[in-house]
Amino acid sequence: MKIGIIGLGLIGGSFALAAKKYINGVSLYGQDYNPENLTEALQLGILDYSLEVQDYAMMDIIVLAIPVDASLGIGISILDQINDNALLMDVGSTKAAICKKFELHPKRNQFLATHPIAGTEFSGPSAAFAELFVDQTQILCETNKTRPDLLEWAVHWFRNMNMKLHEMDAEAHDKHIAYVSHISHISSFMLGKTVMEKEKDERAIFDMAGSGFASTVRLAKSSPDMWTPIFKQNKENILEVLREYITNLEDFERLLMSDDYDQLFEQMKSTNAIKTILAGINEKNTTK
Amino acid sequence: MKIGIIGLGLIGGSFALAAKKYINGVSLYGQDYNPENLTEALQLGILDYSLEVQDYAMMDIIVLAIPVDASLGIGISILDQINDNALLMDVGSTKAAICKKFELHPKRNQFLATHPIAGTEFSGPSAAFAELFVDQTQILCETNKTRPDLLEWAVHWFRNMNMKLHEMDAEAHDKHIAYVSHISHISSFMLGKTVMEKEKDERAIFDMAGSGFASTVRLAKSSPDMWTPIFKQNKENILEVLREYITNLEDFERLLMSDDYDQLFEQMKSTNAIKTILAGINEKNTTK
């Protein structure tokens, strides 16, 4: 079996390693717009071969693990080229646009839209590891549009990887993910921006900031290449949650201005219920 | 030497353990408004004795490790009661109000205002450990108002604990800390609130949220008892940074509305410079 990985970052590289680990007799092919990533992935043994455009038709599986605008850009051409028994899957953080784009393609039933909820602090091939996805959620969208035999193969693979499968409508995915992921990135980017604008002296931040600050601005390290197209594709949902977030911050501001500390206390107290949710997420992440 | 700890949470308990570890021949006394914390601290061997009001005059050192409004409330009375060679120190997250409150007290020179930049996910006596402060910053305010022999003793202790000392004006402390700590808590509380308001189904959050979400809302677990008085005492500085944060979020919103993805990209790209700062903070936290 030949698997092609397009995009050799943390996610693509980890899918390659998980394929090597969980599928017998597999050959891994890969490509990346950055030649250094390709060289590194070959050197690290993540890949067996470089994937060229003329190889697409030879692949049994192709995984698209590139920014979501790039997937839209080259997806149709890849779908055109794959053979009649191959599966193309993407792993992007938005699902409606790609499902829409492929909707009328004659090979739509050879495509599977997925979103693995996994990641770490780090990026690039050297950050990849086969167990990244263990116990993590794999969201599958519009599975009824994928050919049953290809879907079954993918589900079998994801189950072998110990992923927790979760089927969702693509539009519902994008709406929910705006709340539980995309807004966190905006919050973190703008918090980092606010602090850096004010504290020109990095030393002062370094001396006074603790683990709480580090935690809230961590996502501000994220790649703009990856996130700009996500924000673009999920614009409407993000604008909705962003407005609600700003409204809550302005409520907080008004309560503080008017010295309504009882109400501030109550808001924080009820938000403490997030503990239950965080305990669940942390448990999920520490069982790896 | 007798040390009294008022407030047996993570910080107070860890100061007690650090005193036991780094000071020879010390007896630890403690009190807490919650009798369970006192019992637990005694059982865990964090304390040797319960600290009663009539014991204050016997103490060589008293550490105030309670919410900042409570410190203002009982601080004067404790300062009245300590003996002429004792040191009172507080560890609160605001420094201007307590310095102002004690300004004209006849025993002002027996007080030292400190803010150890340290903490973990956990709270209560069982969360305390002697090494919490290793390699962490200890901010000291208005040290010129503390009697030199008492200051010297405290500095010697903090250095033995391997803390990094940093002197600051109390007003400057409150201004900077609003940026590098207080706003992170508001950002996190309101983000948690926004998500919980929208996602009534905790299961959906749990299934779809990853480590990024967990990181940005982690501080929403913080205690409203501790944070309400901090927001109250540092109101003016917090209102300033909160307004700047909201303005940046509204800029982001406007750029997204007008499809100005180049500008969004640039904002995120320049905020990526936070990496350097975060690397420094993480290094500080992993050298423990």
The yes-or-no verdict on residue B285 having pLDDT over 90 is no
> How far is Cα B43 from Cα B35, in angstroms, rounded to an integer?
12
> How far is Cα A180 from Cα B191, in angstroms, rounded to an integer?
10
Do B151 and B34 fall within a single domain?
yes
Q: Give the structural domain span for A66.
A: 2-168
Q: Which of A133-137, A239-243, B105-109, B199-203 has the lowest mean pLDDT?
A: B199-203
Neighbouring residues of A212: CB distance < 8 A, sequence distance ≥ 6: B119, B181, B184, B185, B218, B219
The yes-or-no verdict on residue A172 having pLDDT over 70 is yes
Give A165's pLDDT tier (boundaries 50, 70, 90): very high
Give B284's pLDDT tier (boundaries 50, 70, 90): low
Burial A176-186 (b: 16+ CB within 10 A, else e): bbbbbbbbbbb
CATH number reported for the structural domain that contains residue B22 in this entry: 3.40.50.720
Do B158 and B270 fall within a single domain?
no
Q: Do A204 and B261 touch (CB under 8 A)?
A: no
Per the structure, the count of domains in chain A is: 2
Do B110 and B246 fall within a single domain?
no
CATH number reported for the structural domain that contains residue B233 in this entry: 1.10.3660.10
Give B287's pLDDT tier (boundaries 50, 70, 90): very low
The values of phi and psi at residue B164, to 5°, are -100, 115
Of the candidates A99, A175, A185, A80, the one whose C-alpha atom is nearest the C-alpha of residue A142 is A99
The yes-or-no verdict on residue A112 having pLDDT over 90 is yes
Q: What angle do CA A270, B9, B220 make, to 5 degrees?
A: 25
Q: Do B118 and A210 touch (CB under 8 A)?
A: yes
Do A159 and A184 fall within a single domain?
no
Whether A197 has its CB under 8 Å from any CB of chain B: the answer is: yes
Do B202 and B243 fall within a single domain?
yes
Outline where chain A has alpha helix (H): 10-22, 35-43, 68-81, 96-102, 148-160, 170-177, 183-198, 202-208, 211-217, 224-233, 235-257, 261-271, 274-286
Q: Do B222 and A120 touch (CB under 8 A)?
A: no
Predicted local confidence at residue A288, as pLDDT: 37
Q: Do A189 and B268 touch (CB under 8 A)?
A: yes
Give A16's pLDDT tier (boundaries 50, 70, 90): very high
Of the candidates B178, B184, B65, the one whose C-alpha atom is nearest the C-alpha of residue B114 is B65
Predicted local confidence at residue B288, as pLDDT: 37
Neighbouring residues of B266: CB distance < 8 A, sequence distance ≥ 6: A224
> How far is Cα B137 from Cα B287, in angstroms, rounded to an integer?
13
Dihedral sign (CA A226, A232, A236, A242): positive
Q: What percent of chain B shows pLDDT beyond 70? A: 98
Q: Which residue of B has its CA nearest to A241?
A: B194
Per-residue model confidence as pLDDT tens digits over B157-180: 999 999 999 999 999 999 999 999
Mean pLDDT of B154-158: 97
- Tell the residue number behind the tokens 């970052």, with chain if given: A9
Give B279's pLDDT tier (boundaries 50, 70, 90): confident
**Most B-contacting residue of A223, A241, A277 (CB-CB within 10 A), to test interface:** A277
> How far is Cα B110 from Cα B66, in angstroms, rounded to an integer?
19
Boundary of a domain, candidates A168, A183, A204: A168
Do B180 and B201 fall within a single domain?
yes
Q: Which of residues 18-37 of B touch A (CB under 8 A)?
A: none
Mean pLDDT of A258-286: 87
Q: For residue B235, give the nearest of A216, A256, A277 by CB distance.
A: A256
SS3 A197: helix
Of the candidates B65, B83, B66, B74, the one whose C-alpha atom is nearest the C-alpha of residue B102 is B74
- Tell the residue number behind the tokens 């470089």, with chain if given: A50
The mean predicted confidence, pLDDT, of chain A is 94
Q: Which residue of B has its CA nearest to A165?
A: B207
Q: Which residues lie across from B50 on neighbouring strands?
A: B30
Please tell me the distance in Å from B106's CA to the nearest CA on chain A. Answer: 31
Do B215 and B117 fall within a single domain?
no
Do A31 and A77 fall within a single domain?
yes
The yes-or-no verdict on residue B107 having pLDDT over 50 is yes
Please tell me the distance in Å from B47's CA to the nearest CA on chain A. Answer: 27
Please give the structure tokens belonging to residue A167.
């089927």
Is the pLDDT higher at A27 or at B282? A27
Q: Which residues lie across from A89 on neighbouring strands?
A: A63, A112
Q: Which residue of A has its CA nearest to B235?
A: A256
Q: Which of residues 131-160 of B touch A (CB under 8 A)?
A: 136-137, 139
Q: Which residue of A has its CA nearest to B174?
A: A208
Per-residue model confidence as pLDDT tens digits over B45-76: 999 999 999 999 999 999 999 999 999 999 99
Per-residue model confidence as pLDDT tens digits over B16-47: 999 999 999 999 999 999 999 999 999 999 99
Predicted local confidence at residue A286, as pLDDT: 53
Q: Do B213 and A181 touch (CB under 8 A)?
A: yes
> How far is Cα B270 from Cα A163, in angstroms, rounded to an integer?
35
Whether B272 has its CB under 8 Å from any CB of chain A: the answer is: yes
Do B81 and B207 fall within a single domain?
no
**Interface confidence (ipTM) of the complex:** 0.93
Predicted local confidence at residue A223, as pLDDT: 93
Boundary of a domain, candidates B128, B145, B168: B168
Whether A194 has its CB under 8 Å from any CB of chain B: the answer is: yes
Do A231 and A199 fall within a single domain?
yes
Strand pairing class (A164-168; B137-141): unpaired
Please give the structure tokens belonging to residue A256.
């503080």
Boundary of a domain, candidates B120, B137, B168: B168
> How far is Cα B172 from Cα B170, in angstroms, rounded to an integer?
5
Give A284's pLDDT tier (boundaries 50, 70, 90): low
Contacts of residues A258-266 at CB distance under 8 Å and 24 or more positions apart, as own/partner, are: A259/B232, A259/B235, A261/B228, A261/B229, A261/B231, A261/B232, A264/B224, A264/B228, A264/B231, A265/B224, A265/B225, A265/B228
Is the pLDDT higher at A209 or at B20? B20
> How far is Cα A95 from Cα A141, in angstroms, rounded to an integer?
7
Whether B245 has its CB under 8 Å from any CB of chain A: the answer is: yes
Whether B273 has its CB under 8 Å from any CB of chain A: the answer is: yes
Mean pLDDT of A43-55: 97
Do B104 and B161 fall within a single domain?
yes
The yes-or-no verdict on residue A282 having pLDDT over 80 is no
Do A159 and A223 fall within a single domain?
no
